[in-house]
Structures are given as C-alpha cells and as structure tokens.
Structure 1
Amino acid sequence: MDFKTTQDQITKALIATTRAATRINGADVPFQRSLNPAAGEALDGQNARLLQLARRLLENAAAGSDAVGPVLPNVEALDEDDKWRGFVDVIDSLLEKADTSLDEYSGVVKRMSPGAEQNAAATAAAAKPRPNIAATPNKHLPKPQLLFEHVPKNDETGGFRPLLTSKPHAKVPMEHCLQTFKDSRGREQYPHPYQTEIETYEYPNSMYQRIGPKPYKPFETTTATFVDTPEALATMLAELKTAKEIAVDLEHHDNRSYIGMVSLMQISTREKDWIVDTLKPWRRQLECLNQVFADPNIIKVLHGAFMDIVWLQRDLGIYVVGLFDTYHAARSLGYPGGSLAYLLERFIKFQAQKQYQLADWRIRPLTKELFEYARADTHFLLYIFDNMRNELVEKSDFSHPETNKVLDVLVKSKDTALQRYEHPIYDGDLGLGSTGWYRLVSRTPVQFTPQQFAVFRAVHKWRDDVAREEDDSPIFVMPNHALFSIARDMPQDKAALFTVVVHVSPTLRIRAEELVEIIQGAKAAGMTGPDLYVTLQRIENLREADRQERTQTQPTPAPLAVAPPAPAAVMKSAAPIQLDTSALRTNASQFWGLLTKKDTAPPKSASLPNISFALPLPPLHADIFADNSGATDSPAPVQEPPKFIAQEDRPAEDPRTDIFVVKQLGGRKRKATEALADAATPSKSDPMLDDEIMLSEDDETIRSREKAERKAARKAAKRAAKQAAQESLNDNDELAFDYANAPSVLHANTPSTDKKKDRKGKKEKKKAANFNPYAKMADVPKGLPPKQKESAGRSKTFGS
C-alpha cells in the first residue's frame, strides 16, 4: 500500500472520530448514564480502551524522541498540567527530528547527528527483520576521541589554522597560505590553503563531452577493502593515483562530541571500493590523501559535499580540487529529489537501507549491514556521474554562459570546495553563529517576559559550556524544547526542574543544583534585563546594516568564465552560423551620416552567434553631422536675441486660422431637421459646393428622412399649442383638470398575454404599465434625514 492510500484512510478515520466525539460532547452524558445504566457501562469500556490506545501511542512516540512520555494512570490525568506538559515535550521533540529529517531527505544537508540509538535504528526496519547491529547502546560506548594523538579542543577562539604539514600540487607555496587576515567582524582568520588552485582550476574537456556511461561492477559479487592500518592506506593511495575519477563519501558522528568527528570514509574507483576507518589514533596520517584529492588531473565526485568539505579540513587536513557535486547537478537538471537515495533509485533502481543512516558509526567492528550500506554510497556514484554529465551536456548551450548547465554546476562545485572551517565561537549577547541562541528563538514563536528571556539565554549559555567541557553535543546535554520549558516555568529547586524537563540526561542530573543557581541568578538579573523583541529588532538592524555595507563595498563581479571549447561533436548543433557580411555593409548612412572614421579599417567578417533586434547607435562624433557634399564650410549665422515689441506696435494677425474651437465660434450641435434643411438648400456663397457630386438617395434613406421630418413637425406643433395655452392664462389662473384624459383604473392598460405580430412580422410595442393610484403619494416634502452616528476615531461634523 502506498503512502497516499494510507494517508487517505487515516484522514477519513480521524474525521469520523472527531465528528463522533463532538456529537458525544454535545449530549448530556451524565443524564444518559442515569437514564440507561447499560450506556454508562459501554462508555466506561470505551474510555478504558481509548486510554490504553493513548498509552501505547505515547510510548511509541516517546521511543523515537528525546523526551520521556508521561504516565497516564487514568483519564483524569490528562487534565493535570505536568502530564500535559509531558505531551508537549514529546511532540516538540518529534517535530524537531522531523524538521532535521526533511532537510536530510531533500538533500539540502547531509546527516549531522545520529540522534537515535543503534537499537532504535535496527527496530525501524520493520519490513525485514534484521539482526541487532549493536549489542551495546551508544551512550555506553567509549569515546574514541580520547585516544586520538591530537585530542580535539572545544575552547579555541582564534582562527582555524590548517592541519597541513605539506602542500602537494601547489601553485602558491604553503608559507604564503598561512598569513592571517581580518574578517568582516574583525576576527583573525587563516585563508583557504588551496584557494588559488581551486579558483584557477580548469576542468578537462571530457566534462563537456557526451560519453557513454561506464558500467559498474556487480554489487552482489564484489566487496570493499577495509583500510585500518598505515600499510593498507599506502596500498590504497598507490591505486588511487592511477584513477581519473573517484567517488567519495563520509559518515559523521556528533552526538557524543561537541564539534563532531568523521567516523568513516568511503572511496570508489571504476574498479574497486575502499572503506577507511577514520577513528584510528593515527587519523592525521590520512593527510597523505591530498596527493589524490588535490590532484587537478583526478575528478572527485561527491554528493552534497557542503559539510564534507568542512569535515575533511577540520579532522584530516584534506582539501578537494576538481570537485563535481551531484547535488548541484540534480538541482540544475530540475530533478524532483536531490538526495543520494533518490539518485540511486532513479539510475540504478537500488533501494538504500536508509534506517542505517541513524546508526552510530563509532561501532567497531562494523556489522555486515553497516559495511554494505556504506559501500553502496560510492559504488554506483561514478555511473550516476556519467549519466548526469551526459544529460547536462545535452541540455546546455555552450555559446552562452547563462544557458551552459555544465558550467553552472562546475562553478557551484568550486564554491563548495572553497568552504572554510572556523572554530565555533559562542556569542552570548546577540546569539549569532552556529552555536548561538538567535537561530533557535527566531524559528520558534515564543512570548517571553524580560525575566524569562534572561533565563533562556543563561540556560542556553550553561548548556553550551557544559557540552564543551564534557565533549558532548548540546542536544545530548539538554534538548531544545527543555530550554523553552525552563524559561517559561523558571523552576526554583531540583524537584521542579526535573518535573519541567521530564527527559533528564545523566549530565543534567549530576549538574542540577548548578543549573538551579544559574536560573535564580538570571531571574533576578532579568528584572532590569532587555526585552526579547527589542533585542531581536536590534539584531535585525545590525544584520541589515551589515548587508548594506557588504553591498556597497562589494566589488563589481567579474564576468563568468567562458567554458573551454567543447568538442566538435558536442558543438555541432549549437555552433553559430558564419556569414560573410563584408559586401552588405557601408561606411555612411543617409539617416545616421558617417558611421566609421576614415582612418578606421573596414570591419572584418564576423560570426553572428546572437542576433539582437535592437537598433545599434553609431558613435556620436562631429563627423556624423558634417556636410560631405564638398561645399566650402561657412560660419554658422549668429542668432540675435529676441526683442520685445509692444502690443500696439505689433502687426494685425489674420483671424483665419487652421485651428478653431467650435464653442468659441458659437457652434452647437445641430438637429437632424436643420441638417436636412441645410442640405436641401445649399448656400450659394460657397463656391466649393459647385464641384460636389450629389449621390442619389435610395428608398430607405428617403423614408427615414420623411419620418424624421414628420416627427419633428409633431413635436413642434405640441410645443406651440402648449405655449399658446400658457399665454392665454392669467397669473392667478390654473389649468382646468382634464378628467377625461387623467390616468385612472378605468383607463388602465391591461398587458396582453398573447404576443401578436403585425403584418410585417414585428412584435407589438410594449404597453404602459397598469395604473397605480398610490404612485404620487411619495410626492410630498421630505423631512430631515436621520441623525448621523459618529464612528470611533472619525468625526462627521465637517464631513463633505
């Protein structure tokens, strides 16, 4: 059953359940219990059943979250505040994990923290029962970083100094790459050691060719070599140097480490796979892989390498030159998915066991399931790269950088390879940075008082300090939703703290009294502390000012680099047509004048790769407007300034002009009878009428003209009779009421129901409506209008 069908069934069941619950809530349940004891027993049985379902659902939800679900002894427990708060903590923890999982599934970021234990990851594969891949829960595993030759430090505040001891394939000596500079915030930083090599790198011409994909070795009949000794590392390095393309992927762990650590590295060529153990104490010796990773003659294919590039620098001192990121290729091609699992399904039809993505990759020895899952990430990646490169070539127009998809992917891959690791520095004031509180607050709709805001910042700072000291992730010390719960309730003792947090980690249980003191101190300081929204607005203003400053000081971007010439087989369809236009050009134009200077060489034959429909303007110089007819040049006449002439001294103007206004000349709209009369009696004073040709009128025109004349004559007769009647009356006399012609019920017009037609087939005209004896009752003087009411904030006293 697919997801859509399951979702529809669940939605229908929820809708029916909600409607039934609403109807039951609207009924008088106590009355029904007293009226029918059997109904009461049925309700009690359903309550017990629903309570059991709620317990099981809560247990399952809490198992996949970082919170501990509350215990529900009875139905009344749902109304208790602490129980309800436990529900909220479980839901918040699940939503946080869902947000992270969606980012990882979409391919935006690689997995950064395996938040579930190994047993939970194994249990998640319900479709096929698999053996337990971890006999010991991950919280009891010893920390491998304690055995490293270079134990990680979590309190470094300066710039990150590259771990390189040598620089293979260098264009700029290593000494010049260790000179520090100041960043935009005034902090001292070290540059990217291979910045020049990456920026000036030119991808080989094979990237612009459509080459048939090379088949991969069968996955079932091949295996990978596990590299866990310096001797095995040297053997692998010798074989990698002979390759033209390699595929690379990393497995990372940061749940029991503050900055995280690379736990596994997978490398594949066209012929072989390797799995490198990066948790060995001698892990810094992996820096020798720069002989391959920085080699410009070898293409490095990675998927979603944004974090991989940073992790390689931080832990192993490895830098990548010649990166091709298949994530950028998937986005440029418009794929609906961008994850590696989607590409495996699209090109290989290979189902990756993604439940092992949650695995604890510190486990040694690796189980068979984890080993095969890690190998699958790079075993097929070069074949996927061949197919995506061919598709990019087919959909690219190499004549324009804007439509060159291959160039777009390569430029973005270079930008990814130029990422630089920086130490995580905590900003307690503004909360900016990867470890600050600003990002957490800005993504969560909260309403804090100044005291609650002060407690939130203090607890967040305490959690970061403890995580650095214990070398654990801040989430392991305390989940994010616990920070908001503590800030809202501000517990005063250990018992209240454990009630609020619900999920208490071992670190928090040991340091509970220390945290209570931090809360009380922040609560007292928050009486005069800053407001949350004022602080957020201050941060936004600073960020906006910083953006404007970068925009003003940003140099003009250089034009996009033009891709190297593609092979003729690829450019055949996109090659511009070469036209010989030398015979079609001239040096002068009747409209623009001289187009080129005399000493300018005639234009050469050029190709027209892009036809523009805009009219090009010639260079505007004095030669354009010069007279080339050979006449002698004469000085231009000097125009005298105008002189003022009085009105009486000015000559009389001719009143006849070509422009006139009808209203000024006394014109008006003429009636049809006047126009016909003027047409019938033309003026003899106009000599132009003698040359006019009179056209004979047809019968229809004559009838229309005669009808108009009769209608005008009737109207004129009525007006004359009415005017004569008014003149015959005195000033105090009134017209006698005409009872014969007055409208009444007796003279009412009854509408005809049958629509008769005359001889010409036309319908009869619509008769007047029936007589209404009450029609003139409204013809009385109207009183004052109703009083106008004034609305809030607006007065109508002086309204227009």
Structure 2
Amino acid sequence: MDEKALFGTFMRTAACCTELAKEDIPFCKSVDSKFGRSLSDLSKRLLNVSQSFLSKIDGNKASGLVDVEDINNRWSDIVDSIDTLLENADLSLDKAKGIVTKPKVAVAPVNNAQSSQPKKEKLPYRLIHAFNIPKPQLRFKHPVNNHPTTPWLWKLTEKPNALVPLEKLLDQVRADKALQLSLPHPYEAEIKNSSRPKQLYETKNPVQKGAVEETDPIWVDNSESLHSMLEELKQATEIAVDLEHHDYRSYSGFVCLMQISTRNQDWIVDTLELREELECLNIVFTDPKIIKVLHGATMDVIWLQRDFGLYLVGLFDTYYATKALGFEGHGLAFLLKKYCQFEADKRYQMADWRIRPLPKEMLKYAQSDTHFLLYVFDCLRVELLEQSSRRKEDLMQYVVKSSDDVALRRYEREAYDEIYGLGTDGWRHVLTKWGSSKIIGREALAVFKSLHRWRDQVARNEDESVRYVMPNHLLVKLAASMPSDPSDLYTSARQLPPLVRMYANEIIEVIQNAREDEVKRATTDEQRTEDTVMQDQLVTPVTTREVGAEIVIHTELFEPSTQNKAIIESMSTLNSPFWCASELLPSRKDKADRIKKSLFLSIPLPATALDTKTNEAQETQVSEPKQEPVGSVVPENEVLILHELGSSKRKRGQLEKKVRIQETTTDIVPEVLASVQQETPVKTESPDSPDEDSIAVARENVPKKRKQKKKKVKQAKTAAAEPETPFDYSAQKNPLLSMYSSTKPSSRSKASFNPYASTQDVKRDVKQVKKRKATSGKSKTY
C-alpha cells in the first residue's frame, strides 16, 4: 500500500475511534448486535496486532495483554516501548547522516541479559503514602500561607557574592508598588553578568567515581554537620545537587531532602529539620567560580527559592546537554545507564520522602542521583566540545545560555483562575483530560466548575493537595451524576477520600446551588431574549442616532421563524400597516406609529392612507382642501413612480414629457403671468380659449423665446387636466405575512408557443410578410 494511502487510512481510523469514544459504546452494542460483534472482533484483532508489535520490541511487555483493561493498566509501559522504538529510529537516522559518531569517552555496552530481567514489583503502599505521619509543615517556624492574594516575600536576610546590594533592591521594591506584587529576581544581575570558569572549556579525561556501595553518605540534620559540610563545599570547583519533593499532603508542597556531592563525598541533608538554617548555602550556590551541576533543574530552582531562599549562579543543566547532543534519551536514568552502567530504581521517585528514618533502599536511591552526576558532567562536557568543533557550532554556549534561563526563573503564587480555568490544576486542564466525554450540558459544566472551586478552597484551608481532597476522576463523576443527597454520594465510589466524607453535606449543597443558579441564569436569558430583542434591535429612539451615522437595517427580524412570525403578526393586520386604507385600532395605530418612527429603510416611503387623512383634516381647518388623487403625495423635488412598468408606453411618454416641461418652465411661468397681469385685466375664460387682447399685449412686450415658453406652459396645463387613475395601495397585501403563507400564489397561465402558427395563417399579402419580425429566442421544430 502507498505511504500516503496508509497514512490517510490511519488518520480516518483514529478520527472514527475518537468520535466513537464520545458515545455510549455499551448502549450502542446492546441496540445493534451486529455492531457489537464487529466491534468485539476488531478489538481482538487490534489486541493481537499490539501483542505482536510489542513482542518485537520487548517480549516481557507484550505478555499478559488479554483485554482492554490490561492495556489501560499497562498503558505507560506501552508508551515507553513506542518511545524507545522512535528514539532508536531517530538515532539511526542521525548516525546515517553523520551527526552522531562514536564518542571519545568509553560508553558501557548495554547488557541484554540485564534488560530481559522481569519487571520489578511496585513499591509497598506504606512507602508511597505513609500512614500516621504528623504533618511536618505544622512544625515550620513560619506557618504556611496558601491564600492566593497574599504576596510572597524573599527569605533572603543577606546577599553574598552580590553585584547589586540587597539594600538597594529593597529600596527599589519599596518605591515601586508593582514590584511589591511581583518581586524581581534578586540575583538577576549576577546571573547575567557572570562568566563560567575556564575548566568548563578544557578537554580532560573524566575521572570515574566508585560504586554507590563503596561510599557511605553523610546524614546532615543539625547545625554542626551543616557547617562542616559547608566548609568542604567551599573548596570544591564543581558540586552536584538534587532535591526530593513531596506535594501529596500539602497544597504547595515542600522539599524533604537535599543531596549534594563533590568528587570525593556525598551528603544527604534533612531539609525538614534544617529548613530555616539552609540560607547559609548561598555562599557556595551563588559563587560563579563553583559550577553547580543539576539535571532537569526547572522545578528545583523554584523549590530552592520558595523553601530556603537559595539561588543558583553558575548553573549547568545536563538536560540541555542531552538536547544539544541529540541523544535518544534525556532522563537522568538514561545517562546513568549510558555512562556508568548503573540502573536507577525509579520506583522510589514517587515515594513518600517524609518518612523518618529513611529506609536503606530509599537512602541509596537518593545518594545515586548525585553520586555519578559529576562524572556524567565530565563526559557530556567532552562530547560538547568535540561536537562543537565538528559541527562548527558552539554547543557549550547553548547549554550555558539555557541553564542561565532556568536559573532566572522566579517563584510566584499561582492564583485560582475561575473564569478561564488556566493553570496546572485549573478546571480547563482537568475537563480536557478527564471529563471531555462525560461532562455534557451547561448544567453539568456549572456543577463541575463549582465542585472544582470548592475543592481548591478546601485544599488551601486544610493545606492538602487537590488530589488528596478529591481526585480528578471522582470530581468528574460527581459532576456528571449530580447526587442529590449524602447517601447517593457515599455510593458513587468504592473508596471516598476522608475529606469528601467529612464535607459530604457541603458538597451536596454546592451541587444544588450550582444547579439552581444555572436554572435561574437560563430563565433570565430566555426572558431577556423574548422581551428585549425588539427593544434592543428595532425600537431605538431616533434621537440616539448620531447625525451622519450609517443606518443599520436589522434583517434578522424578517427571517422565517416561529418567534419572528409571532412578533410580526402581533404588530400587523391583514392589510399592510404602511399602506392600508382602513382605519386602524388605537392600540395597533400606536404600534404602527412606533415602528414607523424606529424602523429605518433604505428607500423613502410614501405617505400612508392614514397619514393622508390626518393631513387633509388639518388642512381643512386652515384652508380649502385641494383635490389631489390618492397616493399622489410626493416629497418636494422628488419623483416616486411605483407602477411605471405596468402602464402603457403612451402614458409613460406623456409622464416623461410633463416632467421635462415642469423642469424648464419653473422659473419662466411666474414672470410671464406677472407681465400679462400688469398690462391687461384678467378675464374669466377657459384655459383653452385665452383673451385675444392679452395675447396681443404679450406678443408686443414678450420676445419670441418667451412666447415659446408660454406655449409650453399652456400645453403642460392641458396635459395636467387629464385625470389619471391613482395606484390603489389599500388593495395590496401585507408583504410581511406573505412569507409565512402556506399556499403559494397561482401563476398566470401563459399561452404555449405554437411553431405551426405561421403555416396556418395563409391570408397574408406580400407587404405583411415583409413586415414580420422573427421572434427572438424561439424557433420552429418539426
């Protein structure tokens, strides 16, 4: 199969699976048995393909995949296998292109027998979530404050190795209120202006360190051992640092251990006991002459600032070295296995580091994180220098710049984003990952947001993690089921967290309030839609429109819908309210006046019959009414012709002639009549037979051009005397109601074309035949 066709088939299959996952699959299988059987067969086929695929990579990971639950339980193993395959493919491509070559440093070969060992068992639950351990944060000198609006303050009391004194920074913060809300980095100037020591750019053979079992770490839990360690660290040129963090029984988390290693010695510092005394390590941590080697220090930098007030100047992050060299793996376990033949037991990474005393296995794991790190640093430094000369790129500078960017990170309290749900534990992230197919409808979404906000508030008050208060899967389940009483809440899951049982009544109240608020909001939106749409869109006072502003026509009112039909019928009669001749009821008359004043159309409207009657009644009180045909009210200096196309050609010609005469004689008629009336008395005669004396005087006093114009005036008066049939507006139907009529108007039947008509008309002479014209668009067919 072609590559493009295969990729297209894969994408279509993935899209179908994504859409299918949103539906209720068990329900669909129960309704359609054929669909259920085909889905079961397809699942078996995919399971067999997955097993054969994984067996090619790692036979141990392929065994035991019996059903879908096995895949869900071992999903991380499957992802690791696929990642390993992709990384190997990437490495092979790099080797084929010549980007990656054999390193100068000897790399330990991978022991296949060691990789085929069975997977280790999971850690005991007592090591992951230890019981009956008092909260260490209760013994902290400064109580924990999780309030989102409380500004975080520096823990620095002095600033060693400073280019900018601490007092100057404090003066800047006091003078600027913006800096008080978001404190600057106190060692920003030092990090940006520091230079790495020369030994970083020297090519030296790495000095391998002994095994972990050969070196016993020094446990530091008092001031005396702390100062002894500090004196030895001052003599070093490179040190390796790592932290162990706990965040399950705390809202923000806290550091439990700090591992520090030199070329000769390893230390493990109990940060729970020495939390308030570790600021003295800034003497070494901020010294640019001492290189601080960490791996993946993005969060370590934040934790050091928050808990101890420690900052790093001269950081070297080995993670960015692996990125620059294009390694297939970027974790610390990968580097330890690559360079030191040491396989770290990552099961202890999620262990509960609050346990005291530490078990021997956890102590050795903590020591191994920094014991080999300086040797790994030497190997990476050699490869960076060699690859830089070969590629003609400064890879070392890239690592140094990336490490400085990490060291410049600042700790800030993360506020709760109720509107957009942003953040690590924001409701948007939880909804996208856990509840995209379960939270359906506005009501369920409102309950989900309310429960998420309640969970965050309780976690802050109790100083517990949100996962401990209410796990994400339980949060989504409660928002989807919306239990109405505590008994339903207790049966919603097999094991409920302690705080959920404690606050069961409060959780039910939160759910009920969220549902009630959503119903009120929906009712308010509907009422506003029904009551204020016309007022917001149509009934706008004319005075609010600015002069010269563009007129907006709201055509959405005339869309054929049930709501618009009811609105239009409530304001209309059987005849058009604009042109109907019958008298309207007072209430509907007011509606018609209001609509006429507020509705702006793109063409000027003629006066309605009702307006004509009102104007005539007003003119009767002042002067005698003028006899004008109905519908002839035309604005001044404007001609409105509605029925022109329906009249005959002769009438259209007369009308055009009258218009031209009126335009040419507007300025001449008053002068001619005035001159005639001054010299001759006016006699009462018909307009068709004027007085001969007046005509003679006019001939003597008026030039020839005026006689012609006077003649045109007479012709215009004669043409105006001819009566015309006015256009009857009252007989026209309402155009707004016609769009909703179910019956369509019957079209007039036209006479069908007869191609034999010319052959049937035989009595025609030669002259008539010559005058015949061919009908355009039609022809004879035989």
TM-score, normalised with respect to structure 2:
0.51
Question: Post-superposition shift, 1:385?
Answer: 0.2
The answer to whether the aligner puts 1:471 opposite 2:468 as a matched pair is no
Q: 1:317 is aligned with what amino acid?
A: G
Distance 1:101 1:143, change over 3 A: farther
Number of the residue aligned with 1:409: 399
Distance 1:452 1:327, change over 3 A: same
Take 2:245 and 2:466, find their aligned partners in 1: how far apart are those partners? Answer: 16
Q: Any idea what SS the aligned residue of 1:266 has? A: strand
The answer to whether the aligner puts 1:269 opposite 2:259 as a matched pair is no
Number of the residue aligned with 2:307: 315
Take 2:81 and 2:224, find their aligned partners in 1: how far apart are those partners? Answer: 38
Distance 1:345 1:171, change over 3 A: same
Distance 1:451 1:95, change over 3 A: farther
Number of the residue aligned with 2:276: 284
Take 2:497 and 2:76, find their aligned partners in 1: how far apart are those partners? Answer: 18
Q: Any idea what SS the aligned residue of 1:355 has? A: helix
Question: Post-superposition shift, 1:412?
Answer: 0.4
Structure 1 contact 398–404 (Cα < 8 Å) conserved? no
Number of the residue aligned with 1:337: 329
Take 2:294 and 2:143, find their aligned partners in 1: how far apart are those partners? Answer: 28
Take 2:269 and 2:204, find their aligned partners in 1: how far apart are those partners? Answer: 31
Alignment of 1:128-139 (within 5 A): 134=126, 138-139=130-131
Alignment of 1:682-761 (within 5 A): none
TM-score, normalised with respect to structure 1:
0.49
Number of the residue aligned with 2:221: 228
Structure 2 contact 301–409 (Cα < 8 Å) conserved? yes
Structure 1 contact 263–277 (Cα < 8 Å) conserved? yes
Take 2:144 and 2:429, find their aligned partners in 1: how far apart are those partners? Answer: 26
Take 1:491 and 1:145, find their aligned partners in 2: how far apart are those partners? Answer: 35
Question: Post-superposition shift, 1:486?
Answer: 1.4
Alignment of 1:229-378 (within 5 A): 229-280=222-273, 282-378=274-370
Take 1:94 and 1:232, find their aligned partners in 2: how far apart are those partners? Answer: 45
Take 2:118 and 2:382, find their aligned partners in 1: how far apart are those partners? Answer: 38
Take 1:162 and 1:202, find their aligned partners in 2: how far apart are those partners? Answer: 25
Distance 1:158 1:487, change over 3 A: same
Alignment of 1:490-501 (within 5 A): 490-501=482-493
Structure 1 contact 267–275 (Cα < 8 Å) conserved? yes
Distance 1:337 1:135, change over 3 A: closer
Take 1:129 and 1:221, find their aligned partners in 2: how far apart are those partners? Answer: 26
Question: Post-superposition shift, 1:449?
Answer: 1.3
Q: 1:311 is aligned with what amino acid?
A: W
Deviations 1:500-530 (A, max 9, x none): 3443101110101001000100111123559
- 1:486 aligned to which of 463, 478, 493: 478
Q: 1:436 is aligned with what amino acid?
A: G
Take 1:278 and 1:302, find their aligned partners in 2: how far apart are those partners? Answer: 18
Number of the residue aligned with 1:217: 210
The answer to whether the aligner puts 1:426 opposite 2:416 as a matched pair is yes
Deviations 1:67-120 (A, max 9, x none): xxxxxxxxxxxxxxxxxxxx99x99898799999999xx99xxxxxxxxxxxxx
Take 1:234 and 1:524, find their aligned partners in 2: how far apart are those partners? Answer: 62
Backbone CA RMSD of aligned residues: 3.8
Take 1:233 and 1:524, find their aligned partners in 2: how far apart are those partners? Answer: 59
Take 1:130 and 1:526, find their aligned partners in 2: how far apart are those partners? Answer: 45
Take 1:207 and 1:530, find their aligned partners in 2: how far apart are those partners? Answer: 66
Q: 2:301 is aligned with what amino acid?
A: I
Deviations 1:235-261 (A, max 9, x none): 000000000000000000000011001
Take 1:423 and 1:93, find their aligned partners in 2: how far apart are those partners? Answer: 35
Take 2:201 and 2:428, find their aligned partners in 1: how far apart are those partners? Answer: 44
Structure 2 contact 128–352 (Cα < 8 Å) conserved? no
Deviations 1:699-718 (A, max 9, x none): xxxxxxxxxxxxxxxxxxxx
Question: Post-superposition shift, 1:159?
Answer: 3.3
Deviations 1:625-670 (A, max 9, x none): xxxxxxxxxxxxxxxxxxxxxxxxxxxxxxxxxxxxxxxxxxxxxx
Unpaired runs of at least 5, structure 2: 1-28, 35-67, 88-116, 524-782
Take 2:258 and 2:79, find their aligned partners in 1: how far apart are those partners? Answer: 26
Number of the residue aligned with 1:169: 161
Number of the residue aligned with 1:118: none
Question: Post-superposition shift, 1:397?
Answer: 4.3
Take 1:479 and 1:451, find their aligned partners in 2: how far apart are those partners? Answer: 21
Deviations 1:214-239 (A, max 9, x none): 22133222111000011000000000
Take 2:406 and 2:467, find their aligned partners in 1: how far apart are those partners? Answer: 27
Take 1:244 and 1:132, find their aligned partners in 2: how far apart are those partners? Answer: 40
The answer to whether the aligner puts 1:438 opposite 2:428 as a matched pair is yes
Q: 2:262 is aligned with what amino acid?
A: T
Q: Any idea what SS the aligned residue of 2:491 has? A: helix
Distance 1:102 1:285, change over 3 A: farther
State the number of aligned residues: 428
Take 1:304 and 1:513, find their aligned partners in 2: how far apart are those partners? Answer: 44
Structure 1 contact 453–526 (Cα < 8 Å) conserved? no
Structure 1 contact 182–189 (Cα < 8 Å) conserved? no
Structure 2 contact 128–350 (Cα < 8 Å) conserved? no
Distance 1:267 1:98, change over 3 A: farther
Take 1:502 and 1:185, find their aligned partners in 2: how far apart are those partners? Answer: 49
Structure 1 contact 224–272 (Cα < 8 Å) conserved? yes
Alignment of 1:129-208 (within 5 A): 134=126, 138-178=130-170, 179-180=172-173, 188-208=181-201
Unpaired runs of at least 5, structure 1: 1-21, 28-86, 108-124, 532-800
Number of the residue aligned with 1:47: none
Question: Post-superposition shift, 1:337?
Answer: 0.9
Distance 1:521 1:128, change over 3 A: closer
Alignment of 1:41-56 (within 5 A): none
